Amino acid sequence: MTSTTHPTIKLVLEKPVYGGDCLARPATPDGKPGKATFVPLTLPGETVTAHIIEDKRSFANAELDQLLSASPNRVAPPCPHFGVCGGCQYQHADYPTQLALKQQILRESLSRAGVLFSSKINILSKEPWAYRNRIRLAFTESGEFGYRSRHSHSIVPIRECPIAARSLFLAAQQVRTYLAENPSPAPISELELFTNPGESQLLITLFCENTVATTTQTWLDDLFSALSLRPTGIRLQAADGSLNPPILAASGESSIGYAAAGFDYRVDHGAFFQVNRWLVEDFVSLAIANRSGGIAWDLYAGVGLFARQLAGSFAGVVAVESAPASFEALQQNLANTSANAVSSTTLDYLRHNRQEREPGPDLIVLDPPRAGLGEETTTLLNAIGSPAMVYVSCDPTTLARDLRALTLERYKIDSITLVDMFPQTFHLETVVSLSRS
């Protein structure tokens, strides 16, 4: 689509950047490279015309107008919503190219932060479609559901989602049909669906902005009974932004069993669990890597994906988790093992255990949210000085920052593996193995 309000410029795309765009530097009148300009839906080496949509002092954002010279690695996106929907950024690249782009982005993120490592960046990947075990959809005022737009917070109605497990989309369609014929007493704003690997169980969470009406429980029970693709559990919840928002009504079970790495994990509504159903077992094996010893700490433990495995090879395991949605399941998943669940933030736990103690942890596993560890946490980890650590990251920028702090003082990097937990998107997971230097 050509802009009528912004001048069109010619660009040669140089390299990928984190977020899904590619970078170009339009030539200045004197022939020198110009301002960094970021263009989505492009690939390195391509020549395009584009128009500027945001012009800042040190960079600009542009939108693609015309593809003049295409990369040999460009493919036709299979999803009809690609480019408008904000969920995917890389469907226009063949899968080996997606992996190479992410590997390059990860390497540059680490190098730019001054992280020294001699090991190559390994890659762990599987089937790049129908992998998502969880999706969250928003409803339009007309009752259609979809994802947020690539351009704004507006909702793009969707007819399909090829990166999601098929049962999730089918269930969403059934919920939408029921809502059209039987409006909820508490108007629904969003819908989250979560399934186990074999799609034999399903949790559905409906979110609303206002408080419960007296008929909500009856309405939810009727919805639960009406769905032919029967969920294990369904609940209506206030979307108030709190850590533990109130449940307004619930039908069925509050959790599903998620079979992975030889154990059937309990996972509750709203609890964190890795999203790629094809990769979970290999991911756990990579992070744990046949480690054994006396004491292991699993920080940011979630429902115990790592802690449950560590309990089979360590004399004692401490699993630290602060989210109420995960903690009860964590306790159950660790029952009758050497592991102990601790309800605490990681930072508070480290503050209370900063002094050298015997025995200290032989291994610390870290799987923080996107914000990473931060300065105080890395300082405390360096002070504790566990012989080995495994850092699982979902953001290369905060990973690079934290690794810089850890490796400057006490640790060296033994291995780095890019885990493609989110094919077709710019997101990437990384597992870094560190040892005390």
Q: What is the mean pLDDT of residues 92-120?
A: 96
Which H, E and C letters describe the chain, residue by residue?
CCCCCCCEEEEECCEECCCCCEEECCECCCCCECCEEEECCCCCCCEEEEEEEEECCCEEEEEEEEEEECCCCECCCCCCCECCECCCCCCCECHHHHHHHHHHHHHHHHHHCCCCCCCCEEEECCCCCCCECEEEEEECCCCCEEEEECCCCCEEECCCCCCECHHHHHHHHHHHHHHHHCCCCCCEEEEEEEECCCCCCEEEEEEECCCCCCCHHHHHHHHHHHCCCCCCEEEEEECCCCCCCCEEEEEECCEEEEEECCEEEEEECCCCCCCECCCHHHHHHHHHCCCCEEEEEEECCCCCHHHHHHCCCEEEEEEEECCHHHHHHHHHHCCCCCEEEEECCHHHHHHHCCCCCCCCCCEEEECCCCCCCCHHHHHHHHHHCCCEEEEEECCHHHHHHHHHHHHHHCEEEEEEEEECCCCCCCCCEEEEEEEEC
* pLDDT for 3 beyond 60: no
Report the range of poorest mean pLDDT among 216-225, 240-249, 377-386, 398-407: 240-249
- For residue 118, what pLDDT is reported? 82
Query: pLDDT of 234-253, one tens digit each?
Result: 999 988 767 677 899 999 99
CB atoms within 10 A of CB 157: 17
Report the range of poorest mean pLDDT among 84-98, 101-115, 122-136, 213-227: 213-227
- For residue 212, what pLDDT is reported? 63
Query: pLDDT of 198-210, one tens digit each?
Result: 999 999 999 998 6
142: its two tokens: 């007309």
Rounded to an integer, what distance in angstroms lies between the CA atom of residue 237 and that of residue 193?
13
- For residue 5, what pLDDT is reported? 60
- For residue 69, what pLDDT is reported? 98
Confidence of residue 386 (pLDDT cuts 50, 70, 90): very high
* pLDDT for 382 beyond 80: yes
> Would you name the residues annotated as active-site residues?
394
Query: pLDDT of 32-47, one tens digit each?
Result: 778 999 999 999 999 9
Domains and CATH numbers, the chain: 8-74 (2.40.50.140), 102-127+277-436 (3.40.50.150), 134-258 (2.40.50.1070)
288: its two tokens: 């744990």
